């Protein structure tokens, strides 16, 4: 028998139908002239066919049932644990839903923060408004008190009234008018001097300055005249010069005052 | 399978329906144990679920499934013994081709028993390649993918396995 040099694996490939049409044709051609290969093929084929006949057990019917159970439990576990990307969100959700206390704590915190914030805001506004209204009320009261005190027959009470002006930073025209009237008409020298001092703190207002200049000719007390001279010098009020010159014409003017006024005039000019 | 991968897990039911019987056959022929084979099939489908994101959609689902099946068998350990012993199947209703067991002549029955013995004594690697090729009806190029070897290597391996089986059978028969 001639030794066959053909690839024996071809036999199995032929049996397994793992050949191209060309390969198959070539192999079958060889097979016809090679008893060795055809004998081997026959033996192999026999075993091959027997394998096909070899029975196998059928899968039991509960396999699909088991599968469904497995699938369901897997889906459940997926919903609980979540996939890779959603695991964090799932985790938070799990914690969130698993602990109602956390939800409550969160709600309470939000509520407290909100209430506190609102309280601070409204309180700030309220306090500002309250203080503003309170201070204006106090101011009004002081002005009223001052004005009523200026009408008081007691000189000491009138002085007390005038002294309230130190607490009134920005006096209204009514207060200034009242003070100027006191300066010009009050019978008590001390009251007039205190009033002059009080008016000096509003000297930036032109009405006050004009009133003070006019008051120069109306004063008879040497003390007040002297105080006015000092005041005009302090304010460097040049408009007061004619009033002072007029005052110098008065024959009964105090010598000390006359000297002081002359000095004031020269300093102002 | 791509639908399963994208989250439609119920679609796995269709795949199970289509593939669980052949897969069970593979497992049974590899292990020789019926209950174990059922467990292993479950295991394979569980892994399909678990590792569905690794399925790339390249090639057939079947090759990927058998790839996982081999890993399951490997992890099971005891099934990779050099020889296996098939359980005696006495109840004829359990056989797919049950009628053959009763109607077949005595000689045929004996021949089958011998062939079974020959298979059992085969090297696991050879047995596996024979099963994949003969019973699972996989093509050489598919087997190559599953075993991660070349198609030429599959061809040689199958041929060698068939010869081993043939010789073992003839030895037993004589």
- Domain assignment present for A65: no
Residues of chain A found within 8 Å of residue B10, distances taken between Cβ atoms:
71
Q: pLDDT over 90 for what percent of chain B?
A: 28
The reply to whether A87 touches chain B by the CB within 8 Å rule is no
pLDDT-derived band at B142 (thresholds 50, 70, 90) equals very high
Residues of chain A found within 8 Å of residue B21, distances taken between Cβ atoms:
58-59
- Identify the closest residue of chain B to A70 by CA–CA distance: B46
Both tokens assigned to B127 = 């047995």
Q: Which residue spans within A42-116 are E strands per DSSP?
A: none
- Are B159 and A13 an interchain contact pair (Cβ–Cβ within 8 Å)? yes
Q: Which residue has the tokens 């509520």?
A: A111
**Residue-number span of the structural domain to which A27 is assigned:** 10-43
Q: How many domains does chain A have?
A: 2
Burial annotation A179-189 (CB, 10 A radius, 16+ → b, else e) = bbebbbebebb
Nearest to A55 by CA among B64, B112, B138: B112
CA angle B115, A61, B60 (to 5 degrees): 70
Nearest to B132 by CA among B44, B66, B65, B61: B66
Residues of chain A found within 8 Å of residue B112, distances taken between Cβ atoms:
50, 53-55
Alpha carbons B96 and B34: distance in angstroms, whole number: 14
Alpha carbons B159 and A68: distance in angstroms, whole number: 40
- Checking if the pLDDT of B78 tops 60, the result is no
- Identify the closest residue of chain A to B21 by CA–CA distance: A59
- Are A57 and B158 an interchain contact pair (Cβ–Cβ within 8 Å)? no
Map out the domains of chain B as residue ranges: 1-81, 99-174
- Are B163 and A75 an interchain contact pair (Cβ–Cβ within 8 Å)? no
Do B115 and A54 contact (CB within 8 A), yes or no?
yes
Q: Is this model's pTM higher than 0.80 or not?
A: no
Alpha carbons B57 and A146: distance in angstroms, whole number: 99
- Domain assignment present for A105: no
Mean pLDDT by 10 residues, chain A (269 residues): 68 88 90 88 89 81 85 78 55 60 79 86 71 80 80 83 78 83 86 87 85 86 86 86 85 84 86
- Domain assignment present for A14: yes
Q: State the pLDDT at residue A244.
A: 86
- Domain assignment present for A142: yes
How high is the ipTM of this complex?
A: 0.75
Q: Report pLDDT digits (tens) over B92-132.
A: 434 444 445 555 577 788 888 888 888 888 888 899 999 99
Alpha carbons A235 and A216: distance in angstroms, whole number: 14
Q: Give the CATH number of the domain where residue A143 resides.
A: 1.25.10.10
- Are A50 and B10 an interchain contact pair (Cβ–Cβ within 8 Å)? no
Best mutation target, A8, A11, A12, to test chain B (most B CBs within 10 A) = A12
- Are A47 and B25 an interchain contact pair (Cβ–Cβ within 8 Å)? no
Closest in B34, B135, B155 to A57, CB measured: B34
Whether residues A31 and A142 share a domain: the answer is no
Residues of chain A found within 8 Å of residue B168, distances taken between Cβ atoms:
none
Query: Quick check: helix, strand or coil at residue B71?
Result: helix
Both tokens assigned to A137 = 């009320």
- Checking if the pLDDT of B91 tops 60, the result is no
> Which of A:205-234 have CB within 8 Å of B?
none
Alpha carbons B37 and B43: distance in angstroms, whole number: 10
Alpha carbons A54 and B96: distance in angstroms, whole number: 10
Both tokens assigned to A104 = 């409550």
Domain range B1-81, CATH architecture: Orthogonal Bundle (1.10)
Q: State the pLDDT at residue B130.
A: 92
End-to-end CA distance of chain B: 49
Do B45 and B12 contact (CB within 8 A), yes or no?
yes
Whether residues A39 and A146 share a domain: the answer is no
- Domain assignment present for A59: no
Which range (B20-24, B47-51, B148-152) has the least confidence?
B47-51
Nearest to A199 by CA among A221, A219, A173, A223: A173
Q: State the pLDDT at residue B92.
A: 40
- Are A16 and B158 an interchain contact pair (Cβ–Cβ within 8 Å)? yes
Domain range B99-174, CATH architecture: Orthogonal Bundle (1.10)
Closest in B96, B111, B165 to A56, CB measured: B96
The reply to whether A13 touches chain B by the CB within 8 Å rule is yes
Q: State the pLDDT at residue B81.
A: 52
Q: Report pLDDT digits (tens) over B64-77.
A: 999 999 988 888 86
Q: Chain A closest CA to B96's CA: distance in Å? A: 6
Nearest to A192 by CA among A212, A172, A175: A212
DSSP of B104-164: S-HHHHHHHHHHHHHHHHS-HHHHHHHIIIIIS---HHHHHHHHTS-HHHHHHHHHHHHHH
| Angular region, B148: left φ>0, alpha ψ -120 to 50, beta rest | left
């Amino acid at each position: 028998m001639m030794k066959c040099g053909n690839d024996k694996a071809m036999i199995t490939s032929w049996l397994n139908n793992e050949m191209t049409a060309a390969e198959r044709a070539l192999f079958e051609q060889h097979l016809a002239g090679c008893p060795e290969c055809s004998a081997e093929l026959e033996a192999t084929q026999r075993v091959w066919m027997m394998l096909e006949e070899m029975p196998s057990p059928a899968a039991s019917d509960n396999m699909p049932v088991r599968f469904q159970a497995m699938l369901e439990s897997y889906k459940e576990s997926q919903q609980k644990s979540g996939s890779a990307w959603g695991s964090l969100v799932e985790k938070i959700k799990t914690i969130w839903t698993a602990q109602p206390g956390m939800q409550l704590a969160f709600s309470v915190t939000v509520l407290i923060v909100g209430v506190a914030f609102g309280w601070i805001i409204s309180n700030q506004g309220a306090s500002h408004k309250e203080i503003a209204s309170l201070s204006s009320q106090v101011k009004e009261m002081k002005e009223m008190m001052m004005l009523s005190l200026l009408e008081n027959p007691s000189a000491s009470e009138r002085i007390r009234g005038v002294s309230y002006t130190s607490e009134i930073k920005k006096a209204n025209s009514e207060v200034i008018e009242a003070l100027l009237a006191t300066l010009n008409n009050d019978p008590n020298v001390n009251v007039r001097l205190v009033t002059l001092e009080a008016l000096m703190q509003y000297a930036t207002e032109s009405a006050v300055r004009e009133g003070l200049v006019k008051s120069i000719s109306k004063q008879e007390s040497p003390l007040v005249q002297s105080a006015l001279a000092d005041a005009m010098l302090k304010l460097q009020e040049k408009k007061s010069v004619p009033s002072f010159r007029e005052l110098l014409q008065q024959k009964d003017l105090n010598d000390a005052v006359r000297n002081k006024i002359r000095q004031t005039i020269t300093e102002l000019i | 399978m791509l639908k399963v991968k994208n989250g439609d897990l119920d679609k796995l039911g269709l795949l199970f329906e289509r593939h669980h019987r052949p897969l069970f056959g593979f497992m049974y022929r590899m292990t020789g144990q019926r209950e174990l084979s059922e467990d292993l099939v479950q295991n394979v489908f569980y892994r399909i679920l678990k590792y569905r994101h690794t399925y790339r959609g390249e090639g057939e689902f079947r090759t990927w499934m058998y790839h996982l099946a081999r890993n399951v068998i490997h992890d099971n350990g005891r099934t990779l013994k050099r020889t296996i012993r098939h359980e005696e199947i006495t109840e004829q209703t359990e056989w797919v081709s049950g009628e053959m067991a009763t109607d077949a002549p005595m000689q045929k029955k004996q021949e089958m028993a011998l062939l079974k013995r020959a298979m059992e004594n085969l090297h696991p690697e050879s047995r596996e390649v024979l099963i994949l090729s003969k019973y699972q009806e996989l093509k050489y190029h598919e087997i190559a993918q599953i075993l991660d070897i070349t198609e030429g290597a599959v061809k040689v391996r199958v041929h060698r396995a068939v010869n081993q089986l043939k010789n073992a059978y003839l030895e037993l028969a004589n």
